[in-house]
Amino acid sequence: MITLLVGTNRPNSRARRVATYYTSLLTTLGAESQIVDLAELPADFTSSALYDNAGTNPVFNKLASLLDASDKLVIITPEYNASFPGVLKSFIDGLPYPGGIRGKKAALIGLSSGSQGGLLAMTHLTDILMYLGTTVLPQRVRLPFIDHDLNAEDGLNHDLSQLLLREQAEALLAL
């Protein structure tokens, strides 16, 4: 089972739409997958699920357990202010330590409306994942100008984007 983690809590995000596309791609490659969308987190999760309240928030616990059931992750993150969204960092901080995502394999997809395609977000996220003992696939896919690439059917308009995501998925499955 591969878990796709939508790295923002923005409702109906472009990251969620890319996750839907990637799920279809994994299905064509014969792999099972599930989506964990941080938009499902309760608004107060940083006070109701972290630190002294660890393990007490049923919604947070459900999302964390879905991650726990997978040995491979695909993290789709937009770039917010030259990094990844704070909600993703808070979610990671709430996972059990040193467990959580230690020992898992992760593929990263960055997206942005600009030309960098989430490069800075993926760089920051890679540092954190490696610190936590997660193996990060070298094929990190950048999706720049996502507003032009993502179409109304949650598909990608650019052949290069489709090819890069397929190559990444195949590499992840080969691990």
Q: For the segment 15-68, what is each residue's pLDDT rounded down to a tens digit?
A: 999 999 999 999 999 999 999 999 999 999 998 988 888 889 999 999 999 999
pTM: 0.96
Asked whether the CA dihedral 150, 126, 114, 91 is positive or negative, the reply is positive
Residue-range definition of the domain harbouring residue 117: 2-174
Mean pLDDT over 161-172 rounds to 98
Given a cut of 90, is residue 172 above it in pLDDT? yes
Evaluate if residue 97 carries a pLDDT over 90. Answer: no
Residue that is written with structure tokens 């969308």 in the block = 37
Q: How confident is the model at residue 166 (pLDDT cuts 50, 70, 90)?
A: very high
User: Where are any strands of DSSP class E within the chain?
Assistant: 2-6, 33-37, 72-78, 105-111, 135-136, 141-143
Percent of the chain with pLDDT over 90: 90
Confidence of residue 122 (pLDDT cuts 50, 70, 90): very high
pLDDT > 90? residue 111: yes
Residue 105: pLDDT band by 50, 70, 90 thresholds? very high
The CATH number for 47's domain is: 3.40.50.360
Q: How confident is the model at residue 158 (pLDDT cuts 50, 70, 90)?
A: very high
Token readout for 125 is 């996220």
Long-range Cβ contacts of 27-35 (<8 Å, 24+ apart): 29/169, 29/170, 29/173, 31/2, 31/169, 31/173, 32/1, 32/2, 33/1, 33/2, 33/3, 33/4, 33/74, 34/1, 34/2, 34/3, 34/4, 34/66, 34/70, 35/3, 35/4, 35/6
pLDDT of residue 160: 96
Q: Positive or negative CA dihedral for 75, 80, 83, 85?
A: negative
What's residue 41's pLDDT?
A: 95
Identify which of 110, 108, 117, 104 has the alpha carbon closest to the alpha carbon of residue 144. 117
Q: Are 150 and 156 in contact (CB under 8 A)?
A: yes
Q: What is the tally of structural domains in the chain?
A: 1
State the pLDDT at residue 138. Answer: 96
